[in-house]
Amino acid sequence: MMKQIQTFLMLIAVTLTFSLHSTALEAGEIEYQEQASEIIFNSLQSEEKGSFLRKAYKQLLFTPVWMHEKGLSSAAKELFDYIADDETLDRQGKLYRDSLTLRQMAENLYARGGDIYEKVSLEFKITQLYKGYTDYAFFGSINWGAFQARISNLMVNDVSTEWVLHRPGVYPVKILEQAAFGTSLKKMFDALQPTAYHYKALQKALIHYMKIREEGGWEPVYLSKKLTAGKRDRGVYSLRERLRMTGDYVSCGEEEEDRYDHCLQEAVKRFQKRHGLKADGVVGPVTVKVLNVPVQERITTIRLNLDRLKWLNEREGNRHVIVNIPDFKLYFEEDGKLIQTMRVVTGKPNHPTPIFSDTVEYIVLNPYWNIPKSIIQKEMIPKLLRNPNAMAKQGIEIRAGWGKDAPLVNPHSVNWAQYRYSKTVPYRFAQVPGYKNALGKVKFLFPNKFSVYMHDTPSKHLFKRSKRAFSHGCIRLQNPRGLLKTFSTFNENVDYDKAQKTLKGKEKTFLKLNHKVPIDVVYLTAWVDYDGKLQFRDDVYHYDEMQLKSFRKW
């Protein structure tokens, strides 16, 4: 009896819905919708409560979205067209082929006058297709749960990191509901596409590489020797063609057959720069190895990074600081345009810099370095056990607690061995301000649970390296004073000239920013830069490798 009452109430609700937004429907269509709704309602009673079908149609009051009485709805046609037009989809993949199959099935069903039960059955199949496509387009193929479990397992090897996610603001059930009420599915899909981090440009790069694959990909480059300016080698032919395919080689006129000419050298430099290699134009084993990465591997890397972009924090402010770990670079953008960039040093693979978002709120001049407990136990205490005066040589004070007036401790008076593996260390280790301070002379704070920040460093030589994963997790800046100057241009309380005078001394000075700036620490091994160039970098933390272990195929 209860079930009959529920069905009756549901049918009343559906009828009211139709009367409100479908007054133009013919009587036959209204009758079809009512009958289809009852079939949908009854059919879904055996579905699991958490299933997408059950949640979606409950929200829709069990109204059919795709299959009308005499033909496909406009929403169904838009869905099929959108999938057909999506050039990023693998044409041999299940999602694309299912779309073609279901469209043909619908056309055949209407042509032969199929019954309402067949239409409802196909309605469900199209909804599952819709769910699959929205997952692909807006959420991607990375199994984030499996990946988070993998990086958590690194704790076993004393590696602690985190990748903080920002769920895409896409709600497939709500989109479906609006489509059922006549809102264009295409317009909604277009509006929901990510725009930050040059997402659409990376999509175009993916399509270009997919076309290269369809045409057979690129042939391997084989050289008999290292190529330098003016040398001849039969491998020059394949090198030139390889670089032509990815747009690095642009003919300068007459090509000099097997000679490594100036035009080809410039193409190699462009390629090297795009792949994070030393751009010297010399084609040695490392450059050849990168040239010979198969096109399919590059496609997979691009797809992986497109899906990472979907889960990044899209910022609304006009200023934005981005630190890309595999690129070892900081980018400061304003209104989407690059206004400053510099090299950075990031965490070692066994001390990885976490992936997260925050806001730069403070600048500290002449900072103290309050040394974390992990570094005290792993590095400082072993030095003290060998030489109790080791900290003094590094300008590190040891104090009995964290209070402002905590007294200095004589290192000879402490049995340091008892704190080597203890849960707590009751002493504060702080390196005093100065040019030898590990934080250098300037620190940029964005308070976070990881105790990660950006700072100056006395180890300037590390910025000459192409791979710069050397820190304990914090971000060391190549040009901290330049970044300080940039912040001073829009923070009236940050006087750059006055700060320069302060930095000549050792007095710690704390500057609170009036205009804070969002910062995002990201992990991109493929992206399109501000000049529209496709970039690739090495997987420094092996996150590509981990995520590809459970990467969904469509």
pLDDT digits (tens, 9 = 90+) for 535-550: 999 999 999 999 999 9
In a domain? residue 225? no
- On whether the CB atoms of residues 440 and 458 are closer than 8 A, the answer is yes
Residue 340 has φ and ψ, to the nearest 5°, of -160, 145
As a dihedral over the C-alpha atoms of residue 274, residue 275, residue 276, residue 279, rounded to 10 degrees, the angle is -70
* Whether residues 281 and 346 fall in one domain: no
- On whether the CB atoms of residues 478 and 384 are closer than 8 A, the answer is no
Q: Which residues contact 69 (CB under 8 A, 6 or more apart)?
A: 28, 29, 32, 33
Residues 407-449 pLDDT 10s:
999 999 999 999 988 988 999 999 989 888 889 999 999 999 9
Give me the domain span that covers residue 350. Answer: 315-529
- CB-count exposure of residue 74 (10 Å: 0-12, 13-18, 19+): middle
Helices (H) and strands (E) in the chain, counts: 20, 14
* Whether residues 504 and 356 fall in one domain: yes
Q: Which pLDDT band, with edges at 50, 70 and 90, does 156 fall under?
A: low
* Whether residues 100 and 13 fall in one domain: yes
Residues 241-298 pLDDT 10s:
999 999 999 888 777 688 999 999 999 999 999 999 999 999 999 999 999 999 999 9
Supply the residues annotated as catalytic. Answer: 455, 474
Q: Which residues contact 297 (CB under 8 A, 6 or more apart)?
A: none
Which own/partner contact pairs does 242-250 have at CB distance under 8 Å and 24+ positions apart?
242/218, 242/291, 243/267, 243/268, 243/271, 245/212, 245/218, 246/212, 246/218, 246/271, 246/534, 248/274
Q: Which helix (H) or strand (E) holds 175?
A: helix 172-180
Sign of CA dihedral 490, 492, 498, 499: negative
Q: How many domains does the chain have?
A: 3
* Whether residues 280 and 323 fall in one domain: no
Question: Torsion-angle region of residue 423: left (phi > 0), alpha (psi -120 to 50) or beta?
Answer: alpha
As a whole number, the mean pLDDT across the chain is 91
How long, in residues, is the chain?
554
In a domain? residue 130? yes
The percent of residues in the chain predicted with pLDDT above 70, rounded, is 94
Q: Which pLDDT band, with edges at 50, 70 and 90, does 370 fall under?
A: confident
As a dihedral over the C-alpha atoms of residue 418, residue 416, residue 475, residue 317, rounded to 10 degrees, the angle is 60
Residue 8: is its pLDDT beyond 70?
no
The predicted model gives 162-170 an average pLDDT of 94
- On whether the CB atoms of residues 67 and 172 are closer than 8 A, the answer is no
Domain harbouring 408, CATH code: 2.40.440.10
